[in-house]
A and B are shown apart, each in its own frame.
Chain A
Amino acid sequence: MDQIFVALKHWLLGQLATILPAWLLPVVSALMSIAAIIGVFATLFAIMTILERKGLGRIQNRYGPNRVGPFGFLQPAADGIKAIIKEDVVPRAADKVVHFLAPVVLVIPALLVYSVLPIGRNMVAIDLDAGLLFFFAVGAASELAVFMAGWSSRNKYALLGAMRAVAQMVSYEIPLILSTISVVMITGTLSPVKIVEAQSTHAGLLPDWFVFTPWGFAGFILFMISANAEANRSPFDLPEGESELVAGYFTEYSGFKFALFFLAEYLGLFAVSGLGITLFLGGWNSPFAALDFVPSWAWFFAKLLGLIVLFIWTRGTLPRLRVDQLMNFAWKFMIPMVLINLVAAAAWHYVGGGFARWFVSGAIVLGSYLLLGRGLFHGKGITKRTYRYAE
């Protein structure tokens, strides 16, 4: 059961080997992996849109979409058909080529990063030694696409949104990458597959996942916050803040190109969530040895769904930040915190086993969190806001 998809692929390739020339086989093998990744994660995108809309609705005491199909679960199909048959409007003043390329350039890196994600035992498209590096290098290309979209639209809102997006994504790229460095320090490898393997043992009750260490926990939280900002999701959705910028950098897109922006955004979100799972949540490992019979890919997707729920939940809870708050948070809290977290990880490694390293590492993380948190509020004079008319 665990290897069913791997076995299926090998069987298919074995069959094809009899009819195809040998040089074509690697290409076919790659195409199969690509098709599987696109199929699975595009489906996940459809599922997430409906889950998100229903979840947000319930959070706001509404029903959410409930008309198309049973309980409204066919809504994504209806949305997809609508997006495809809509007119594709290109502004007259737009830079047509760049305007057309931007959504494509956005989707490609979002898909490329999946090639190094281990979504199950032996289920990784390319087992790169520097997979983590590849992930971030390719993922950073999405900033270019966002700015292409904003610039080529010749629209002030799109340009403002794109500028905000670039500022935000560059600022949060640093904590995103630095928070993963601690894992690299401990495991001593850049390969996602090896990082997952390093977390596959069980120590007593808890599995050896990095999230169950002080530096790992802090790193996970910091990673998720930065991932949220990288994916431009609420509360960091300033680049597309509906109330101020119409839709930000994709204001001038319609029809399926608009849907592509959403697709890329959600694919990027799944990818960083997948990376978070790989780095901190034990990848495709089961939490208890007794549950090892459940296939590894099922664990990966279960964890992914859990993180998706977490993302939806935060989106339903937190209001959008202001630009200065966003930048302050990135440069005055996130970056010092990830740097200190590196020290905590180093302490974990060098203090040696037992209670002492828990204490030292935990104290570093907790103390700096409290101090930095206080520093962030310092001099702001934040009091409980009173409302004159709206009580």
Chain B
Amino acid sequence: MLGEGIIKGMAETARNFLGSYVSDERLTTVQYPEERIPQIENARQFPFLVFDGDDPMKGMRCVACQICEKECPPKCIYIVKSKDKKPDYKNQQQFYPATFDIDLSVCMSCGICAEVCPFESIKMDTEFELSTTDRFGGLLVNKHQLAKSNGHYRKIHPGDAAASDAALAAELAKAQAKAKADVEAKAKAAAEAKAKAAVQPTPAT
């Protein structure tokens, strides 16, 4: 019969209306500034730069390879490579970013920068309360504002941070093994050369 469905629907909405006053479980909304729901592990907002140790500038992992700058779809990363070098965690001499700016008003939080970085140095943050009254300067963040410690990364994304730490540890171990092998090889070569020199003391002339 015409109108039957309407009556049923009205009953349903009336039930919702009254029910929302009786049981709080029905209310799915969260009273935001006072009440918050914990963010899920994969939450991501804007990128940050990871550093090791205590000094953000010294321990910054970024080597200014500019891969992220090229991959970023809206082109919101701006990097200037340094002229000099500083040692990285493997004690290799590397460039570092003299300037590293991200325009948060342009960033679309895609996370591609974090994905392409080969040095585990740019990661996605979960901070989202970034409103500012200055829409130009306030949203253009430099490397000092971007630098956050590895401990922070471990806190916000424990799983990913563990994987990244493991990858870095593996790299370090490989580098050390290689260095050791190099040293040994060098020593061996030196020894061999010495031995050769000893075997052939006087060439027949």
Contact = CB atoms under 8 A, between A and B. Distances in A.
Interface string A28-59: 00000000000000000000000000010011
Chief secondary structure at chain B's binding surface = helix
Size bin of chain A's contact surface: 20 to 34
Contacts of A58: 16-17, 20-21
Nearest to B31: A63
Contact of A369 (B2, B12, B28, B31): B2
Contacts, number: 47
Interface in B10-25: 10, 12-14, 16-17, 19-21
Given A313-B10, A317-B9, A318-B9, A61 B16 contact: yes
B29 A62 contact: yes
B198 interface: no
B27 interface: yes
B7 to A, nearest CB: 10
Contact of B27 (A62, A314, A317, A372): A62
B3 A373 contact: yes
Contacts of A373: 1-3
Contacts of A333: 2
B17 to A, nearest CB: 5
Contacts of A62: 20, 27-29
A61 B20 contact: yes
Contacts of A377: 2
Nearest to A329: B2
Interface centre among A58, A63, A333, A376 (most CB of B within 10 A): A58
Contacts of B28: 61-62
A287 interface: no
B6 interface: yes
B26 interface: yes
A175 to B, nearest CB: 15
Interface in B24-74: 26-29, 31
Contacts of A316: 13, 17
A61 B29 CA distance: 8
A205 interface: no
Interface string A358-386: 00000000000110111011000000000
A328 interface: no
A62 B32 CA distance: 13
Contact of A313 (B3, B13, B20, B29): B13
A317 B20 contact: no
B29 A317 contact: no
Contact of B10 (A63, A317, A369, A374): A317
A61 B26 contact: yes
A313 B9 CA distance: 10
Given A369-B2, A373-B3, A377-B2, A61 B27 contact: yes
A174 B28 CA distance: 43
A333 B1 CA distance: 13
Contacts of A374: 2
B39 to A, nearest CB: 22
B13 A63 contact: no
A370 B20 CA distance: 36
6 A-B pairs with least C-beta separation = A373-B2, A317-B13, A317-B9, A58-B17, A59-B13, A58-B20
18 contacts: A58-B16, A58-B20, A59-B16, A60-B16, A61-B19, A61-B26, A62-B27, A62-B29, A63-B31, A316-B13, A316-B17, A317-B9, A317-B13, A369-B2, A370-B1, A372-B2, A373-B1, A373-B2
Given A58-B17, A59-B16, 6 more contacts: A59-B17, A60-B16, A61-B19, A61-B27, A63-B31, A370-B1
